[in-house]
Amino acid sequence: MHPKQIIDDFSSMGSAITRDGTELFLSNPTNVTDEMKQFAKCYKKRLINYLSGDYSDKKHLINQTIDKLIDYMTNKPVDNQLIIDNWLKVDQESLDLTIQLMQLLYNNGWTNYDEPVANYCNDETDRIYEQLFNKAMSQIKGRAA
């Protein structure tokens, strides 16, 4: 989910999300449920980046694409599963990068596979995100040609 949407949803309930350095603050926390607070915590790094002006539409597209790939790797239902199957079957480098990414996320503390990976990313995972995104887009464009 786009951080702007999370912030807008909280604001519409009278609980603005703001940041102070690397921390998030919630005004009127009683206006939202504990589940909603936990959801926002799962996306803390992305929310902070967005509120810092360091989250572009392209960054969101990359994150959204790789989140879908991670869902695929953890056997969650995804749209276009067959396209991902075929891509990883023919592109060994992308498969290797995907496995490397999964290991890095695990090493960064991501062990609850039902939890989003947003808070477990770092410069190395971001670099792999971009590489995988570019490879995925090349694969899609190659199919369309």
Q: Of 104, 78, 76, 94, nearest to 131 (Cα)?
A: 94
Q: What angle do CA 107, 129, 113 make, to 5 degrees?
A: 45
> 132: how many CB neighbours lie within 10 A of its CB?
22
Q: Of 14, 67, 20, nearest to 42 (Cα)?
A: 67
pLDDT one-digit tens code per residue, 120-139: 999 999 999 999 999 999 98
CB 19 within 8 A of CB 52: yes
- CB burial of residue 87 (10 Å; 0-12, 13-18, 19+): buried
Q: Specify the pTM.
A: 0.87
pLDDT one-digit tens code per residue, 58-104: 999 999 999 999 999 999 999 989 999 999 999 999 999 999 999 99
